Structure 1
């Protein structure tokens, strides 16, 4: 059975489409070629955006989750696209180092959150621009099932224990759903806790591979997770079933099957919730809680960046056009699109919940970018390897009742070894 990814419920391995919805053979030679990881609704909305591009026609290829492998193969074949939308800033700097990319600049009015632009630079030159953001510090729930939302980490743990005890007796649903079959879900948990227990400087050192994964901040974060994930009755069917559950299914367990009360997930969970919700009840959200109610809760962001490949002036023109405020207006109006451009007025979000998330992004003093997406490719993780696999093994240990201290020590040793191997490989 094919695995679902965070990019959509129905993904084809390679789907070639025209931005106008019709690929005319006479126009393909002059079309701007774009490679994206998006599929399903995201791909359809991006097509609608590209209809407004005033230059050449645009032809879009949906590559599947592993866009890096796709682009490497195209490079070897001499058929690189003009533009790619990349889900990890580490790919931008890696391709720039190899000489694959042309420098690009956003329009004069474009303004991304503090620190994010620097992630797309190499030797002081910008090689990418953010075109889509993701808010990755949210818990989703149905208001009827969770009238009081936890505002601290300890409150979340206490709620999980109370609901877990009821679930063990068969007197209620499990407190949490988690799509642990998708390793990125578990790294998002870890990164939110790391954002709460580290300074921005400590967090950045880990992302750059300049800190030891065996030191106190990582151990403290993992101990927190072990305390929560090891709660009896925490997940529908227990930890073993959670490791077979993908992200979309975990959302469905909350909004449709009602097997769990809460699910942690990014803003794109709303599309799944809308598609599979029942009884007309809209899901609500609360922020990933900090240890202290007085502290600002962590705000983890992800994003997709547009790059242009060397030799393509049309690609550079398209990337810059994508940073104009009006370019993504069709997607903002349709809903489900969070702009990384802080100059976009909040009133332009027709979707109220997404507008609320945009307001949080605008107000955040120091949002942290998804740490695993910043790590070098062998460490960043894909299915069955890297940090994703290490976190899945940790989840399996603590949900099976392994002593937290031992599980944490094993996991930090594996993380440190993976970081060292990656550095030696580079």
Structure 2
């Protein structure tokens, strides 16, 4: 998972940009007593504008978009001695890493802060809390066109049957393919893998893999990969075939369904609706939950963004406590497109029916699992061409390119185990 690209290297350009951003912040505060509280975020465009509306109600806060690679940005700022007061990080692994290096101070959320069990402990190390969740992503959704698929599949076997019926030689050239997939973005493929893994294995095994205490060559991992191979190898499953899918980015896969009508279904998180709003032509797509092995099984993978405070910033700590209150994100809730990780936020606060249903899921399921790749250590976590993203792309290329499932699974589990070892976790 993790739609945010991550690269541990710090380029000279990043250093210069970070240093300049630090200088601008100091200048912006001059002559007004205390400078603005500075917050670095991964968000851009609409999300950035919405967050600025949120913090405008708090006071003098300056929000800086660090772009996709917030880790490199913050490392550069640390080296330059211009760390922001607060950062909003897209991966719990980064929170723990920064805390262990001594970059962060402990945080205390507000009294009404309550998050699902699967998320609660991910921002702690050594029994101390170093972050609070401020935004959630529901990553267990399929989006489909009801005119082309009036009865969505409710189990994994039904999904495979529908894909075979809509794909395959008889349909070739006669209509849209069953599935769009943005396989050029490795995080899309890890999101698929995580949903299947959550369904075929126990919660304990899933979290042990994330911690580095389980075997990537185990039966559960092989079972998840086998299930993916069964679906992804269906002839005619993707518009233009597997090779085109590996050149298709996430946004384009959504556009293939909602605008170009080249495919009937696409899987990805609640954030798909941003692309839908921008590109949809005709009737809006509907959603169904990622199907599990049986009708009753519906895995729920969540991602999220967490606020942290850099060492020495008292004002940052006050801001983060305020952000942990459910009501802080009222403007974004009103505008739509926001899912709160805080289960104390009243369901009536959600104007948008899709988000209201997703917020209900977060409260009622005991099967919440946090995005696995976002918890993995070091480069194993994945970025373009690296780590688990690259391994899943290799696996996709194998199973869509005619390599037998058993051989593709053997290669993938070998790569996963080697990557886990070199990252210092797992076997």
TM-score, normalization by structure 1: 0.92
Judge conservation of contact 2:39–2:86 (CA < 8 Å) in 1.
Answer: yes
Tell me what 1:319 maps to.
320
How many residues are paired up?
408
CA distance in 1, matches of 2:211, 2:371: 12
Distance 1:218 1:319, change over 3 A: same
CA distance in 2, matches of 1:359, 1:248: 27
Where do 5+ consecutive residues of structure 2 fail to align?
6-13, 23-27
Q: Deviations over 1:56-81 (max 9, x none)?
A: x1111111111111111111111111
Deviates more, 1:334-343 or 1:346-355: 346-355
The answer on 1:181 being equivalent to 2:184 is: yes
Tell me what 1:20 maps to.
none
Judge conservation of contact 2:29–2:35 (CA < 8 Å) in 1.
Answer: no
Deviates more, 1:27-36 or 1:113-122: 27-36
Secondary structure of 1:116's counterpart equals helix
Tell me what 1:265 maps to.
268
The answer on 1:78 being equivalent to 2:93 is: no
- Deviation of 1:285 after TM superposition, in Å, equals 0.3
**Would you identify which runs of 4 or more consecutive aligned residues in structure 1 move more than 6 Å?**
13-17
Distance 1:49 1:166, change over 3 A: farther
- Deviation of 1:366 after TM superposition, in Å, equals 2.7
Tell me what 1:49 maps to.
54
CA distance in 1, matches of 2:344, 2:327: 11
2:100 aligned to which of 71, 76, 97: 97
- Deviation of 1:159 after TM superposition, in Å, equals 0.4
**1:189-338 correspondence runs (5 A):** 189-279=192-282, 281-295=283-297, 297-338=298-339
CA distance in 2, matches of 1:253, 1:347: 33
Tell me what 1:406 maps to.
407
Judge conservation of contact 1:140–1:262 (CA < 8 Å) in 2.
Answer: yes
CA distance in 2, matches of 1:370, 1:408: 21
Secondary structure of 1:115's counterpart equals helix
Distance 1:424 1:355, change over 3 A: closer
Distance 1:167 1:35, change over 3 A: farther
Judge conservation of contact 1:106–1:323 (CA < 8 Å) in 2.
Answer: yes
Tell me what 1:394 maps to.
395
**1:60-71 correspondence runs (5 A):** 60-71=63-74
Distance 1:27 1:162, change over 3 A: farther
CA distance in 2, matches of 1:59, 1:194: 40
Secondary structure of 1:46's counterpart equals helix
CA distance in 1, matches of 2:153, 2:33: 54
- Deviation of 1:167 after TM superposition, in Å, equals 7.1
The answer on 1:113 being equivalent to 2:116 is: yes
1:59 aligned to which of 52, 58, 62: 62
Secondary structure of 1:189's counterpart equals helix
Tell me what 1:40 maps to.
45
CA distance in 2, matches of 1:416, 1:28: 54
